[in-house]
Amino acid sequence: MSRLIRALDFPGVTQPAPHYADAVVAGNLLFVSGLLPLDAAGRLVGGDDAGAQAAHILGILRHIVEASGSSLENVAKLTVFMTDLSQRAAVNAARIACFGAWRPASTLVQVSGLIAPGALLEIDAVAVVTEGKNVLF
């Protein structure tokens, strides 16, 4: 019997310290683990600018979704964890720049801190991988 769920890791994405994958494909759904504003070497990107951090994270999300055979238009759900909700407008501007007119379902949660020092937000996502276009199988 073949495995129905497949864990994925992507070159250029900071490898998680704990034991988890960058993303998991289950059926035609792509579950993307929480993404932080870190470059491939694990350094913080965007300083204290939540908009710049969000833009970087959404660029990583685009890379993962497209490498999985889908597109940002197929992102169904985002969860955004923020340490400072006063910077929400800057994050929303980055979302609009990334998704354009498409508005995925979303949840915003304020948290007291994140695992990466200086990170102001973390984003995870669920996307649909179009049947017959998944390049990973």
Superfamily of domain 5-128: RutC-like (3.30.1330.40)
Does 69 score more than 60 pLDDT? Answer: yes
Closest to 126 (Cα-Cα) out of 24, 50, 43: 24
Taking every pair of Cα atoms in the chain, the longest distance, rounded to a whole number of angstroms, is 50
pTM for the model stands at 0.88
pLDDT digits (tens, 9 = 90+) for 75-84: 999 999 999 9
| Residue-by-residue DSSP string for 25-79 | EETTEEEEEEE-SB-TTS-B-STT-HHHHHHHHHHHHHHHHHHTT--GGGEEEEE
Does 26 score more than 60 pLDDT? Answer: yes
Quick check: 98 and 58 in contact, CB under 8 A? yes
**What is the CB neighbour count within 10 angstroms for residue 123?**
23
Q: What is the CA radius of gyration of the chain?
A: 15
Q: What is the pLDDT of residue 6?
A: 56
What average pLDDT does range 42-67 have in this prediction?
95
Strands 105-110 and 121-128: unpaired
pLDDT digits (tens, 9 = 90+) for 93-110: 999 999 999 999 999 999
The token pair at 55 is 């833009």
